[in-house]
Amino acid sequence: MLRKHLVSSKTSGEPGFHWRGAEVTRLEGFTDAVFAFAVTLLVVSLEVPKTFPELYAAMHGFLAFGVCFALLANVWYEHYRFFRRYALESPWVVFLNCALLFFVLFYVYPLKFLFTALFDRSEIGPAEARALFTIWSLGYAAVFTVFALLYLHAWRIRAQLELTPVEAMRTRVSLSDQLAMILVALLSTLLARTVSDRYLGYAGNIYAIVPIYFTIAHSIAGRRERQLQLQPPAL
């Protein structure tokens, strides 16, 4: 299992952040199984091509599958890193974990439909496009709302976790990251429901803000972390 390999690897962990999770728990194992099933749902409708034209037609779905897989892998890694960092398994954390899995499974098909339509340049009417952008954005917001609640919980019990100043700052930055993703998704939803048909594409284009945000926010956080590391330890 990938998670077991990462945990046992000497290269696992983060410089400056002690990973408190040492063993793969049943909750994490269950989560891995659900993510594997979600990836299967991305390709389960594809039949094995029997002729070259069928193979060529099937390859049209390659890019869409690649993007969907990358998005799911990113969500999986966010989950993996959280549980490695904090090793939390309280009833609240278990509930949030199950909520995350629910949203991941529920939005696999809208995710696949959106990017398949995008890469195939399928004709979609304005009303359908509005509904599709709304479904996608609300699902995006739901997933990152769960992560925000998880990081908020870790932040609130930072004293119990004995987080160092650097670890506490990274926890706060991670919480800010989740809140920023929620804001982008809600802005996309607002645009999808309010702008005219001519400008409807902006509901999708607004996600271009995401890499810009991470570049700026993490550059600032990196400078603050280096300053924090230079400070003498409290006596």
pLDDT band at 94 (very low <50, low <70, confident <90, very high): very high
Please give the pLDDT value at position 109. Answer: 86
Highest mean pLDDT among 5-9, 60-64, 178-182: 178-182
| Number of neighbouring beta carbons within 10 Å of residue 130 | 20
Which is higher by pLDDT, 203 or 63?
A: 203
The residue ranking higher by pLDDT, 182 or 234, is 182
pLDDT in tens, 169-228: 999 999 999 999 999 999 999 999 999 999 998 999 999 999 999 999 999 998 988 887
Distance CA 192, CA 129 (A): 8
pLDDT, mean of residues 145-160: 97
Q: Using CA of residue 118, residue 119, residue 121, residue 122, what is the dihedral sign?
A: negative
**Rounded Cα–Cα distance for residues 102 and 43 (Å):** 19
Does residue 11 register a pLDDT over 50? Answer: no
Total-model pTM: 0.87
- Mean pLDDT score, 26-49: 83
Mean pLDDT of 100-111: 91
Question: With 70 as the cut, is the pLDDT of residue 58 above it?
Answer: no
Q: Is a pLDDT exceeding 50 seen at residue 2?
A: yes
Mean pLDDT of 15-22: 88
What pLDDT score was predicted for residue 10? 46
User: In whole numbers, what is the pLDDT of the chain averaged over residues?
Assistant: 87
CA triplet 58, 36, 47: central angle to 5 degrees?
25
Is 235 a residue whose pLDDT tops 70?
A: no
Model pLDDT, residue 75: 96
C-alpha 36/C-alpha 98 separation (Å) is 15
Of 40, 168, 53, nearest in space to 105 by CA: 40
